[in-house]
Chains A and B, each alone.
Chain A
Amino acid sequence: MKAGILRFKKSGIILFWLFVWQAASMAVHNNIILVGPLDVLYALIGQVRLADFWLTIGFSFGKISLGFLSAFVAGIFAGGAACRYPLIGDFLSPLMALIKSIPVASFVILALIWAGSENLSVMIGFLVVFPIIYIQTMAGIKSTDPHLLEMADIFKMSEAKRFFYLYRPALLPYLASGCRVALGMSWKSGIAAEVIGVPLHSIGEQLYLSKIYLNTADLFAWTLVIIVLSALFESLFLWLLSLASPGFRYKKKKRGTIWNS
């Protein structure tokens, strides 16, 4: 009942803002400056019917996901190695500082020179995500309870068991919070890179064409597509990550019971 009311309230608020948007667009009465939600919906329906729309989505989704996933794996390995061998951390430290401080636009130009526009969003996604995952991995590993590590020493636990039972539970919350930030950033920077590099059959190319032809409805429609894709990818990835959490198998059971001794 309460959930129903809450959903109704949320829907009402969204409808209110859509109405404000439509009213503003009607008041402006200029489809280049501000299109209404109905125009965006028509533009989106027009796009969805085309095979090219799905090809474009597949291209950008594949490239940005590849950039994110490769950075995710590399960041965990590099962060883990830096914790295990501090010398690696010392060597990577200036590189990380450099990657974090260089503007994405500069990276895009460099990546265009080095790799061309085809794999631009893979590279940019990687460079944006890698330092975040690296730092979060190090923080997660360092947060492992030292008392438990002493316990593992006393009981001669193997490295594999230490990772599974001690480091993994400490690491996952840090990775999840890093991924929440990194997933959004990989999409924003990946699409921005595509707009600059204009690779064929990319969402960035579509945004660029919308700008050239002053087609604001298409611009809004593609922006909506980006938001939906980003949210879907984020939900899917965070759900997959939660499967690795030690508490996952107990979540379906009722939790919180404390037995008396």
Chain B
Amino acid sequence: MELVISQLSKSFDGRFVLDDVNLHLVSGNIYCLMGPSGSGKTTLFHILLGLVYADSGEINGLDKERISAVFQENRLCEAFTPVDNVTMVMPKSLENHKSKAREALKRLLPDESLDRPVSTLSGGMKRRVAIIRALLVPFDMVIMDEPFTGLDEGTKQQTISYIKEQSAGKLVLISTHQEEDVQLLNGIKIHL
């Protein structure tokens, strides 16, 4: 997959959040989008996800049917368990989707947390559920908006290995503030 973003611009109340953005992204790479708060990372993600329209510019090579995401807010159904939150987005056509979800969650979360409502989990655990959810649906491209928020060093390393494993050969676009994350991900740095 090749994603080509040309001359993309977006303004809110007359202030440009994205101004003439040009990117060429290719599958098999992890791109780390860096920039200070307010530089338009989330806006770019929202445009790619179809949640916001750009004022001008072009996006080519994007298949909206094969895109997955970790949102800046977790956007989990708090009354349901991590297993429910993952399986609810997985297509039923996927074989053994419940056991696949459980196995994936077990890799990053303690067993006893899998059947509790998400509302009783810590912020870091919720973040990991959101990451697993994004990586267990069929996708060609995954967008992750500051996915490591609330994770300690140990769980961050585990999570990064999981992301690299699950997204091999796919296009990954991650926003982060940490230079160290780029190295851990073997990512390609993009400054906005």
A interface residues, Cβ below 8 angstroms from B: 147-148, 150-151, 153-157, 161, 164-166, 169, 245-247, 250, 253, 255-261
Contacts and interface: CB of A to CB of B under 8 A. Distances in A.
Nearest to B49: A154
Contacts of B155: 261
Given A156-B65, A259-B113, A165 B122 contact: no
A253 to B, nearest CB: 8
Given A150-B51, A250-B116, A258 B77 contact: no
Contacts of A250: 116-117
Nearest to A166: B77
Most A CB within 10 A of own CB, among B80, B113, B124, B150: B80
Contacts of B84: 165
Given A155-B137, A250-B116, A258-B121, A165 B68 contact: no
Interface of B: 49-51, 65, 67-69, 71, 73, 75, 77, 79-80, 84, 88-89, 91, 110, 113, 116-117, 120-125, 127, 133, 137, 150-152, 155
A256 B67 contact: no
Nearest to B80: A246
Given A147-B73, A154-B69, A247-B117, A261 B151 contact: yes
A222 to B, nearest CB: 42
B48 to A, nearest CB: 10
Chain B facing A: main interface SS: loop
24 contacts: A147-B73, A151-B71, A151-B89, A153-B50, A154-B49, A154-B68, A155-B68, A157-B88, A164-B88, A165-B84, A169-B77, A169-B79, A246-B117, A247-B79, A256-B120, A258-B121, A259-B110, A259-B121, A260-B122, A261-B122, A261-B124, A261-B125, A261-B127, A261-B150
A147 B75 CA distance: 6
Contacts of B79: 169, 245-247
Nearest to B88: A165
* For the complex of A and B, 5 pairs with smallest distance between CB atoms: A261-B124, A155-B89, A246-B79, A151-B75, A261-B122
A155 B91 CA distance: 9
Contacts of A261: 122-125, 127, 150-152, 155
A153 B137 CA distance: 13
B166 to A, nearest CB: 16
A153 B50 CA distance: 10
